Amino acid sequence: MGMLVLAELVKRKLALLGLIIIVIIAGSALLAPWIAPYDPQNQMFDGLTIEGAPMPPSMQFLLGTDLLGRDLLSRLMYGAQTSLIIGVVANGTAVMIGALVGVIAGFFQGWIGTILMRVTDLMMAFPALLLAIVLAALFKPSLWIVAMVIAMVNWVQVARVIYTETRSLSEREFIEAEWAIGASRFRILFKHMLPHLLSTMVVWATLGIATTVLLEATLSYLGVGVQPPTPSWGNIIFENQTYFTSAPWLVFIPGVAIILLALAFNLVGDALRDILDPTQKGRH
């Protein structure tokens, strides 16, 4: 199944482009300790001009240096680790929580479903970014805290979608036939419901990474995300924004990296939505 989906993805030019971008960024993040030109924390004397300004891109520093004389390329590679870890962990957690809430509420319904969906509606009433800022400010920001904060604000959309699909599946003829022959709740849920919901979870797990990466970058830029000296693409922009006019590469390059990674996951997620649920083709 997995190989068939991958083969379908490769056939689509935009999805293939997204996969290539993801592989390049993920590969540079995983191999950063071995291929990064410098230590991302190393403040080099020759990384600054005589006036103490950042060095522009050159043969020695391919993407230039930041205001402390640190190699920007090395910091981007290590920052990719942060973005990908938070993207995968936070979104994976959000999908699991949302799927659990949605399936329980849609399958069991009754007062359990009502309470769970009212809590979901209440969470959806708060702006996600504002809620994330408040939660991040309440705790000491770190990589894992930021991941959990993002998960806590992103699960509600997944819960709503899974709840709607679960309710729809519950009314299908094959589910009613299972009830009629006396099948157990366990059998219906795990043999018939969850396999039909898996494709939706996979699509949300892919598309959600793009949103998560953007939210992490926003939190780090606002100073309530991953804290220096741990590099992340958001705090790289935050640290160097004062040099935007004199050293624009310090803001432009990490900004492009964030956009490319988010775009790549969106391209792959859209393709997965078409492949795993052909009825959605052309509707987005």
Cβ(232)–Cβ(82) under 8 Å? yes
Identify the CA nearest to 82 among candidates 216, 243, 282, 252: 216
| Burial (Cβ within 10 Å: 0-12, 13-18, ≥19) of residue 166 | buried
What SS3 class is residue 107? Answer: helix
Query: What pLDDT score was predicted for residue 281?
Result: 47
Query: What pLDDT score was predicted for residue 110?
Result: 80
The whole-angstrom separation of Cα 223 and Cα 219 is: 6
What is the second-level CATH architecture of the domain 11-32+72-280?
Orthogonal Bundle (1.10)
The whole-angstrom separation of Cα 32 and Cα 76 is: 9
Query: What pLDDT score was predicted for residue 195?
Result: 81
Query: What pLDDT score was predicted for residue 93?
Result: 92
Cβ(25)–Cβ(260) under 8 Å? yes
The whole-angstrom separation of Cα 73 and Cα 146 is: 24
Torsion of CA 235, 82, 95, 161, to 10 degrees: 40
Helix (H) or strand (E) holding 161: helix 143-170
Describe the chain by its helix, strand, coil percentages, rounded to 5.
75, 0, 25
pLDDT digits (tens, 9 = 90+) for 65-79: 888 889 999 999 999
When computed from its CA atoms, the radius of gyration of the chain, rounded to whole angstroms, is 22
Tens digits of pLDDT across the chain (284 residues): 567 777 888 888 888 999 999 999 999 999 999 999 999 888 888 878 767 778 888 888 889 888 888 999 999 999 999 888 888 899 899 999 999 999 888 888 788 888 988 988 888 887 777 888 887 777 777 788 888 888 888 889 899 989 988 888 887 777 778 777 877 777 777 777 888 888 888 888 888 888 888 888 888 888 778 887 788 888 888 888 888 888 888 889 999 998 999 899 888 888 888 887 655 544 44
Query: What pLDDT score was predicted for residue 2?
Result: 64
Identify the CA nearest to 67 among candidates 89, 40, 48, 44: 48
Token output for 1: 């199944």
The whole-angstrom separation of Cα 238 and Cα 241 is: 5
| Burial (Cβ within 10 Å: 0-12, 13-18, ≥19) of residue 157 | buried
Token output for 209: 């990474």
In the chain, where the domains are located: 11-32+72-280
